[in-house]
Chains A and B, each alone.
Chain A
């Protein structure tokens, strides 16, 4: 494995990890898969693109704005698609479907505003200087992407492990009822979890759009299933696991593409996912539990 491949894998893996962290945060708290996560990913990318190309904003301004926008979308999602279902016995299946409906609505809105075609960033907005590191060539853009991912991991870790809000979110994940008894505002904690989760998904979307320089209403589809693979590999609800598995998937994909060819890339990740589920259902970092369902 050459240095170049390691760099490419790390930078792809960083995006997968960011996306999966958001996924796994909501799953950890609510035990619900939010299938609209990929649509938020896509909308944030479009917002960043519009800011850069229409409003001529600097990328360093557009990125945070798009991330906050994605977070707000998360609040909308929580309010419309998840809160009304809370307490219903089939909420993990009905939540799956209501989030799917929201994904369809978001995609239709993106279609309506930006059209079905792939859009690209204006020519001179992406930093494209090349640097030599580890015997490979890295663009400043790739470094920025890796840097932003690492920065967001640290912020998330601090939020969840070191702040009062993080403690509240973790308490709700453990048991909403016990958390309520102890005076935690459960609704507020869940809303924040959605805000953070969607902001991470949005950041992943902007970085993904920048690295492949393309934005389209269906860009979330491919990443959606890979995000699932990552959170399973890492163990549902485990944030360390999501980061490690995200990077592992990125590196594996780069390896498979260079040794077996591009068409086997996805097959290998899903075969690995399937094996992990059969052999070690709780994932690499997950804790065992008696009753998952």
Chain B
């Protein structure tokens, strides 16, 4: 029991980041679930993180209300962003939303009230690990409820063929916008929770690379199932930590080589597991069945 507590305190931060990254991955998954590659989540996370931090740091607002603001403000921003942007499709949508994220980030860099590029420090540490996991559980519940519902079928139809879905009378804009708003809420919440876990926020924490990470979590985990992004976030957040422990045992130097192994693992997953890690059990089962049929 004691060693378990020790283990927990050593890996508390990893554990929190597994949950935070899962939330961010789910925020990208929200729009992916209706076939839209929107990469605005880093921008929304920045808005949420800064809104909550300003409230707790400068106005001493209670943490739950700060979190509420971090959820609502990105949702409000998502509507005027989504209305024009969601008419664009494919890679173009991805790039337009990346541009939005960069404008948010560069706006923060040039905003003196929040210390520009240095960002805010000494944010009160209010986030507990369980709060992160409650948020993840609620998000999963939402996506689980969507599956098989009228909404869920509409989203699937839009993902498979948007013009056809529109022809069938599905109000595609409403659905796409709703998922963008859901994603914005999740990203904003994750941003605020992270800021109050790590004591600080800086604009560069929300750069292009961050939103790419979120997409990678979602796709590596698998976007065929709503829990795939969580699996991907857990796998890829723990992998570097695990490599740090394992690498010395194998005689590999830490540092660049670890990044190399990380890249190779990512490449292998994307090449050999087309539907992500969550498709692994069914693939193995299919192979076993094929083998026993041959024998």
- Which chain A residues have a beta carbon within 8 Å of chain B's beta carbons? 27, 31, 33, 35, 80-81, 84-85, 88, 90, 92-94, 96-98, 100-105, 107-109, 111-112, 221, 224-225, 228-229, 232, 236, 263-264, 266-267, 270-271, 273-274, 277-278, 281, 291-293
A277 touches B96 (CB 8 A): yes
> What are the 3 A-B residue pairs with the smallest beta carbon separation, nearest first?
A104-B263, A293-B90, A111-B256
Q: Which chain B residues (117-171) contact chain A, with CB distance < 8 Å?
A: 162-163
User: Does B208 count as interface, using CB distance less than 8 angstroms?
Assistant: yes
Interface of A is mostly: helix
- Which chain B residues have a beta carbon within 8 Å of chain A's beta carbons? 35, 37, 84-85, 87-92, 95-96, 98-100, 102-103, 106-107, 109-110, 116, 162-163, 208-209, 212, 215-216, 219-220, 255-257, 259-260, 262-264, 266-267, 270-271, 274
- Bound together, the chains give a CA A28 to CA B98 distance in angstroms of 20
Extra A-B contacts (9), CB below 8 Å, given A104-B262, A263-B110, A292-B92:
A88-B274, A94-B270, A101-B266, A228-B95, A263-B109, A278-B85, A281-B87, A281-B88, A292-B89
* Nearest Cβ on chain B to A101's Cβ, whole angstroms: 4
B89 touches A94 (CB 8 A): no
| Contact count A vs B, C-beta below 8 Å | 129
When C-beta atoms are compared, the residue in chain B nearest to A110 turns out to be: B256
Residues in B neighbouring A96, C-beta threshold 8 A? 215
* Nearest Cβ on chain B to A222's Cβ, whole angstroms: 10
Query: With A109-B260, A228-B98, A266-B106 in contact, do A277 and B88 touch (Cβ < 8 Å)?
Result: yes
Would you give 29 A-B contacts (Cβ < 8 Å), ordered by A? A31-B90, A80-B267, A84-B271, A85-B271, A93-B219, A94-B219, A94-B274, A98-B271, A101-B263, A101-B264, A101-B270, A104-B263, A105-B263, A105-B264, A108-B256, A108-B257, A111-B259, A112-B257, A221-B208, A224-B208, A267-B103, A267-B106, A267-B110, A273-B95, A274-B100, A277-B99, A291-B89, A292-B91, A293-B90
B263 touches A102 (CB 8 A): yes
B103 touches A271 (CB 8 A): yes
- Bound together, the chains give a CA A266 to CA B105 distance in angstroms of 10
When C-beta atoms are compared, the residue in chain A nearest to B260 turns out to be: A108
Partner of A232, one of B92, B163, B212: B92
- Bound together, the chains give a CA A107 to CA B106 distance in angstroms of 25
